[in-house]
Amino acid sequence: MTDLPTDLRIEQAGTDDATLKDWQHVHNVIVPPAAMSLDEVRERAGRNHLDVAYRGDELIGCSTVRPPEGDAATATVIARVLPGHRRQGFGEQLYVRGLALARELGARTIETVVLAVNTEGLRFAERHGFVECDRYVLPGESALWIDLRLGQELT
């Protein structure tokens, strides 16, 4: 991993509209088929942990941690980095922070979801031990999504 700049700052989104709008911007750039309105982001912030990442004052990424649910206590951890800031270790920092939070919340299983056309995101997930467990297209949509599970061998 590249040495990270000392001016990297990750903070929880939702303390104000500015951080929610920043999270929304990154999300909508990375996953345009699932673009969200600000009201949808507010609703998501009420049930998930959303973070935004900055290098100094420049927005570079965001993350989502969906709390554990179900018998397997499965949490979802998603890290997103804007294209101009990739391959500099920022995704790693977002991922490590999200993974720690998911485990702190009681997760025993960690999953992530990646838009299939996001080949960089898929490679990142695979490099971090995620294995594909499902591919699907949501009803009425055409985008292909891939669910991946951490450290799970498929049978």
Task: Give residues with Cβ within 8 angstroms of 40, minimum separation 6.
Answer: none
For each successive 10 residues of the chain (155 residues), what is the average pLDDT? 65 90 96 93 95 94 92 92 88 92 94 92 93 93 93 47
Domain membership of residue 126 (yes or no) is yes
Q: In the prediction, which pLDDT does 3 show?
A: 55
Check residue 13 and report its DSSP letter: T
Q: Which domain holds residue 100?
A: 8-150
Domain membership of residue 3 (yes or no) is no
Domain membership of residue 94 (yes or no) is yes
Task: Write the CATH number for 31.
Answer: 3.40.630.30
Using CA atoms, how far apart are residues 87 and 61, in angstroms rounded to an integer? 12
Could you tell me if residue 37 is left (phi over 0), alpha (psi between -120 and 50 degrees) or otherwise beta?
A: beta
Domain membership of residue 19 (yes or no) is yes
Global pTM value? 0.88
DSSP string, 45-108: HHHSEEEEEEETTEEEEEEEEEEEETTTTEEEEEEEE-GGGTTSSHHHHHHHHHHHHHHHTT-S
Domain membership of residue 1 (yes or no) is no
Q: In the prediction, which pLDDT does 154 show?
A: 32
Q: In the prediction, which pLDDT does 2 show?
A: 47
Is residue 108 within 8 A of residue 124, CB to CB? The reply is no
Domain membership of residue 48 (yes or no) is yes
Task: Tally the domains of the chain.
Answer: 1
Domain membership of residue 125 (yes or no) is yes
Q: Which of these, 85, 20, 86, 80, lies nearest to 58 by C-alpha position?
A: 85
Q: In the prediction, which pLDDT does 1 show?
A: 44
Domain membership of residue 89 (yes or no) is yes
